[in-house]
Amino acid sequence: MTLKQRVDADIKQAMLAKDKARLQALRSIKSLILLAETEKGGTEGVSEDTEMKLLTKAAKQRRESAELYAKQGRADLEEVELAELAVIEQYLPKQLDEGDLRARLLEIIQRVGATGPSDMGKVMGVASKELAGQADGRAVSQAVGALLNNTDF
């Protein structure tokens, strides 16, 4: 079952359950998929990789918006963003915890032969491809920087 089909089925369930918050989040996901399909010019659908990129970007936007609303003291809007984020994260692969992230990054650092902070670009290039959808880009960047500078993250 493709992501689009799963979202369509979940939209129907949310409508029957009258779950407005979940319905809004699902409709935004479907909108992203439809925009990506029409952007390519075809109706065959989008690849699984593209779907994960769309979901990751949407999750990042919701996370950043929630942080911004929290700083501004807008708890009402923050709750909406966090609710949508929770729905989006259900479709993303399980996120790596700090220990697993560290282990994977150490393996990548050894594989590419990185020795210091000057090799950050090499490590990030490989890490961003291999860990796509499994870890937040900002967290990966901070962890790589800490590991290359021999500090804890």
Helix (H), strand (E), coil (C) string for the chain: CCHHHHHHHHHHHHHHHCCHHHHHHHHHHHHHHHHHHHHHCCCCCCCHHHHHHHHHHHHHHHHHHHHHHHHCCCHHHHHHHHHHHHHHHCCCCCCCCHHHHHHHHHHHHHHHCCCCHHHHHHHHHHHHHHCCCCCCHHHHHHHHHHHHCCCCC
Low-confidence ranges of the chain (pLDDT < 50): 152-153
Provide the sign of the torsion angle of the four alpha carbons 117, 123, 124, 127, taken in this order: negative
What's the pLDDT tens digit per position in 14-33? 999 999 989 999 999 999 98
Q: Is this model's pTM higher than 0.75 or not?
A: no
Which residue has tokens 């609710």? Answer: 83
Tell me the residue type at 112: V
- Residue 39 is predicted with a pLDDT of 80
Specify whether the CB–CB gap between 78 and 93 falls below 8 A. Answer: no
Please say whether the beta carbons of 124 and 141 come within 8 A: yes
Instruction: State residue 153's pLDDT score.
Output: 41
Crossing angle of helices 48-71 and 75-89, in 10° steps, is 160
> Residue 83 carries which side chain, given as an amino acid letter?
A
Domains belonging to the chain, first-starting first, are 3-89 (1.10.1510.10), 98-148 (1.10.10.410)
